[in-house]
């Protein structure tokens, strides 16, 4: 969604850019990136590209779970959404919607419409401008603007009388969100949610911003003032507004074009990867890891690139440095307050440089990508610490974000009421602790501990709990965390154990017990809002996470959960009649899966992320049904989204005339770009199917993004990984044997014990009629030795001698890594 600075510099100097500035000049309000009191938690802001590449590119964005039974990985969430008040004064048409975000606004005194033809026709018929408000259900500042402005009777009347008001869930309609966010970024120097945009009746934007306070604050106009100015401008200066809206859209169409020149090839991978690495080094923060100072985002796409870069540069100082950067960042995040030490999972981002005080919402896409990053770190390092964190994340998802159908919910909110029956929500209330709460909960004197220390004494020392609270005032601008503690690991297990004169084993037992007690208390606190919307794209990411972690750990429970997720996607988010992915489905009032009519058709990321998940699920289980469906989905993705002229994929297909721009996502941010993921999917599928057109499409896609990859590869680290895979070529690891046999499982375990990012793994049982043998006839010549499961490693049309022992295969793959580095 973020666009490169050099691309916008030309746009600023156009007539449309001048008109745009003039049309917006009467709005002096700006996004609340930081309050005067310090960091603003919960406002999802996107910096404008003109402010410099470093800001553009780096703002997207001991562990144990042993006290839970393994069966919890297959349990389902019981969280609930916020119930409406028993007798609401107002009810608008959003009450008929299924989106949790839209339902949150169903009782505003605003005549809200969902995005659709009814609203568009009303605007044209009544000749009114449109007010478009975009957000999502766990967005803190969306809640603030609703409470301050959309629940205000006076403001509600002004909106309803003078505008056609549309409320849009950005997670349901990312295509619409991207169009108007592109506009807001270009006009206001930044962007974020809530997003506020005013449109002509034909949907051309002419004014845009983000959060507005309800009333004037000094020189900053409040939302009421903004509305009155827009009404006045619409009445007295309408022609200029409409003209500027038309020019802006025309200019944005040109400015957002991404295309390959005829015959253009992708850039040279080693050069691009080296530049990407150097750009990450430049922004790396050495003490706590991560990139830039604060706020700090997990940025798993950066971490996966660094580990992949190491895999082909492991004997160089640069490769060693890349691995250290990734592992240190992952370790410090896991020890920090961004990691929920009691109820597992990771919060959205840290407001400080030490990963201590987070914005407390938890997003499904973060959990998915971080689980993969941590299990990759385990493969690289062999340290159980990283595997424990990966399991910890999936434990949280299984327990709190899982639907009984097998799908995954979208998010948990940051805000909740501190006590049952409370009315005012506070950020982090569900997660934080006072020192007195900890002392009351953990009063036991620990036998043998120095100074007759209690369990609370040891816990508070280890997790940095202070009597006065451990959150600095500058990290708490609204005073919501005063006197509270965000748990953060301050010492190693060895240091804390030594400090209290106990063994490390005893210390670990004590902390497991303490966290278990605190988890029980957390369960009876009022829970944050749970967004029970289920998105195909994010479910695809989580499918990959369960498949990959389950495969590496040989954990059948996790693999079973992955299969459940695959079945859910096919049953509830695939339309076999229309041969389309669907964007979303919802948890109904009776906890059943519901769909809206008509359903929202899937976008590019729905196809790309699900295809990736299916490929990972096949490699984890060798069940060819998933590979077969991945092939079908990729063909459908090509038909719907491929740009035959310029290469690459559009984010949405062209049939919806209400979407004014056809964009190609060119940023790996909080989620990877669907084009980045597709570049890898196409390459992997070309090896599984023998379809050379998919290899060519992958190359054409990378060529279309050549300028971005060459100039600012840090914007696309996931795509750089795909470019590296093209350059170094994928290893083909073929395992011949019976799928369910122990010797086949042993060879697969050897493969999964290593971090080898540029490979495909396939299985054949010798049946020439099988899915893979039909597509890759050469597989029929690969047979078992002495009736034992046998592995072949092939690359560049050359195969190794067959091996039957897992250690032989592991040794062969390790030797191949050295050869790859010299390639």
pLDDT band at residue 84, thresholds of 50, 70 and 90?
low
Distance CA(313)–CA(257), nearest Å, equals 34
pLDDT reading at 375 higher than 90: yes
657 alpha-carbon distance from chain centroid: 28
pLDDT reading at 290 higher than 90: yes
What pLDDT digit, counting tens, does each position of 476-515 carry? 988 999 999 999 999 999 999 999 999 999 999 999 999 9
Dihedral sign for Cα atoms in the order 526, 528, 529, 533:
negative
pLDDT band at residue 66, thresholds of 50, 70 and 90?
very low
Nearest to 614 by CA among 544, 555, 678: 544
Distance CA(468)–CA(31), nearest Å, equals 32
Please give the mean pLDDT across all residues of the chain: 90
Nearest to 820 by CA among 752, 760, 755, 758: 758
pLDDT band at residue 41, thresholds of 50, 70 and 90?
very low
Distance CA(17)–CA(248), nearest Å, equals 7
Nearest to 529 by CA among 95, 100, 96: 100
Q: What integer pLDDT is reported at residue 423 of this predicted model?
A: 85
Crossing angle between the packed helical segments 300-312 and 717-728, to the nearest 10 degrees: 20
Distance CA(321)–CA(777), nearest Å, equals 43
Distance CA(485)–CA(91), nearest Å, equals 39
pLDDT reading at 570 higher than 50: yes
Spell out a b/e string for 732-755, using b for 16 or more CB atoms within 10 Å of the CB, else e.
Answer: bbbbbbebeeebbbbbbbbbbbbb
pLDDT band at residue 819, thresholds of 50, 70 and 90?
very low
Q: What integer pLDDT is reported at residue 292 of this predicted model?
A: 86
What is the architecture of the domain spanning 93-256?
A: 3-Layer(aba) Sandwich (3.40)
Average pLDDT over residues 145-149: 96
Contact 249, 661 (CB under 8 A): yes
Instruction: Pinpoint the residues of the chain covered by CATH 3.40.30.10.
Output: 93-256
pLDDT reading at 8 higher than 80: no
Distance CA(196)–CA(204), nearest Å, equals 14
* Strand pairing report for 205-209 and 580-581: unpaired
Crossing angle between the packed helical segments 238-255 and 15-24, to the nearest 10 degrees: 130
pLDDT reading at 531 higher than 50: yes
Q: What integer pLDDT is reported at residue 478 of this predicted model?
A: 86
**What's the length of the chain?**
823
Written as six digits, the tokens of 755 are 């971090």
Classify residue 146 by its DSSP letter.
Answer: I
Q: What integer pLDDT is reported at residue 219 of this predicted model?
A: 85
Q: Picking from 48-62, 280-294, 419-433, 626-640, which range would have the lowest pLDDT averaged per residue? A: 48-62
Distance CA(667)–CA(56), nearest Å, equals 10
Model-level pTM? 0.91
What is the architecture of the domain spanning 731-816?
A: 3-Layer(aba) Sandwich (3.40)
Written as six digits, the tokens of 771 are 């899915």
Classify residue 589 by its DSSP letter.
Answer: T
- E strands, 152-242, in order: 164-169, 190-193, 195-199, 205-209
**Across the strands, what pairs with 284?**
291
Contact 319, 313 (CB under 8 A): yes
Q: What integer pLDDT is reported at residue 380 of this predicted model?
A: 98
**Across the strands, what pairs with 485?**
433
């Amino acid at each position: 969604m973020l666009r490169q600075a050099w691309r916008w510099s030309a746009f600023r100097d156009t007539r449309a850019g001048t008109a745009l500035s003039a049309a917006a000049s009467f709005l002096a309000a700006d996004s609340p990136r930081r309050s005067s009191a310090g960091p603003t938690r919960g406002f999802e802001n996107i910096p404008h590209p003109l402010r410099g590449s470093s800001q553009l590119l780096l703002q997207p964005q001991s562990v144990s779970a042993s006290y839970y039974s393994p069966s919890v990985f297959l349990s389902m969430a019981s969280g609930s959404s916020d119930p409406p008040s028993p007798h609401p004064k107002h009810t608008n048409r959003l009450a008929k919607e299924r989106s949790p975000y839209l339902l949150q606004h169903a009782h505003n005194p605003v005549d809200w419409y969902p995005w659709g033809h009814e609203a568009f026709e009303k605007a044209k018929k009544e000749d009114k401008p449109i007010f478009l408000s975009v957000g999502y259900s766990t967005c803190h500042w969306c809640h603030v603007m609703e409470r301050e402005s959309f629940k205000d009777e006076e403001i509600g009347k002004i909106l309803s009388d003078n505008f056609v008001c549309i409320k849009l869930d950005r997670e349901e309609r990312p295509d619409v969100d991207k169009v108007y966010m592109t506009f807001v970024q270009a006009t206001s120097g930044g962007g974020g949610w809530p997003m506020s945009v005013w449109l002509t009746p034909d949907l051309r934007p002419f004014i845009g911003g983000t959060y507005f306070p309800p009333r004037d604050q000094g020189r900053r106009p409040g939302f009421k003032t903004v509305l009155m100015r827009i009404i006045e401008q619409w009445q007295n200066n309408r022609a200029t507004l409409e003209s500027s809206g038309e020019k802006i859209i025309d200019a944005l169409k040109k400015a957002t074009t991404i295309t390959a020149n005829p015959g253009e090839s992708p850039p040279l991978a080693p050069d691009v990867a080296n530049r990407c690495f150097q750009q990450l080094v430049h922004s790396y923060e050495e003490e706590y890891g991560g990139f830039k100072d604060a706020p700090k985002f997990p940025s798993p796409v950066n971490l996966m690139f660094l580990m992949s870069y190491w895999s082909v540069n492991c004997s160089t100082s640069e490769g060693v440095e890349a691995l250290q950067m990734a592992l240190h960042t992952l370790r410090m995040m896991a020890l920090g307050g961004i990691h929920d030490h009691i109820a597992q999972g990771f919060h959205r981002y840290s407001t400080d440089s030490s990963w201590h005080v987070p914005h407390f919402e938890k997003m499904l896409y973060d959990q998915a990508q971080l689980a993969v990053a941590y299990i990759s770190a385990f493969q690289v390092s062999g340290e159980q610490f990283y595997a424990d964190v990966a399991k910890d994340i999936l434990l949280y998802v299984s327990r709190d974000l899982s639907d009984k159908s097998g799908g995954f919910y979208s998010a948990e909110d940051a805000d909740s009421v501190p006590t049952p029956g409370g009315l005012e929500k506070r950020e982090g209330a569900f997660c934080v602790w006072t020192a007195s709460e900890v002392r009351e909960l953990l009063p036991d004197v620990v036998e043998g501990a120095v100074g007759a220390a209690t369990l609370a004494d040891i816990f508070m020392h280890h997790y940095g709990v202070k009597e006065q609270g451990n959150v600095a005032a500058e990290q708490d601008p609204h005073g919501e965390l005063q006197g509270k503690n965000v748990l953060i690991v301050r010492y190693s297990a060895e240091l804390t154990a030594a400090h209290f004169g106990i063994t490390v084993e005893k210390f670990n037992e004590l902390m497991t017990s303490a966290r278990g007690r605190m988890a029980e208390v957390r369960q009876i606190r009022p829970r944050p809002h749970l967004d029970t919307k289920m998105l195909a794209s994010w479910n695809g990411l989580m499918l990959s996470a369960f498949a990959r972690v389950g495969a590496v750990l040989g954990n059948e429970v996790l693999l079973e959960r992955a299969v459940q997720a695959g079945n859910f996607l096919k049953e509830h988010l695939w339309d076999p009649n229309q041969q389309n992915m669907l964007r979303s489905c919802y948890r109904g009032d009776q906890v059943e899966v519901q769909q809206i009519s008509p359903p929202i058709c899937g976008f590019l990321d729905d196809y790309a992320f699900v295809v990736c998940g299916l490929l990972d699920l096949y490699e984890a289980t060798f069940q060819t049904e998933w590979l077969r469906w991945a092939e079908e989905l990729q063909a459908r993705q090509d038909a719907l989204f491929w740009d035959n002229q310029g290469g690459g994929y559009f984010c949405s297909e062209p049939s919806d005339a209400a979407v004014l721009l056809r964009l190609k996502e060119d940023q790996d941010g909080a989620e990877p770009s669907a084009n980045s993921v597709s570049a890898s999917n196409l390459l992997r599928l070309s090896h599984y199917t023998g379809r050379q057109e998919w290899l060519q499409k992958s190359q054409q896609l990378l060529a279309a993004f050549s300028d971005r990859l060459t100039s600012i590869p840090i914007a696309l680290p996931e795509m750089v990984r795909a470019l590296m895979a093209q350059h170094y070529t994928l290893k083909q690891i073929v395992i011949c044997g019976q799928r369910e046999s122990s010797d086949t499982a042993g060879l697969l375990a050897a493969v999964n014990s290593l971090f080898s990012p540029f490979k495909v793994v396939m299985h054949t049982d010798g049946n020439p009629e099988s899915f893979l043998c039909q597509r890759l006839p050469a597989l029929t010549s690969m047979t078992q030795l002495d009736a034992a499961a046998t592995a072949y490693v092939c690359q560049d049309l050359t195969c190794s001698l067959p091996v039957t022992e897992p250690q032989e295969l592991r040794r062969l793959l390790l030797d191949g890594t050295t050869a790859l580095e010299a390639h």
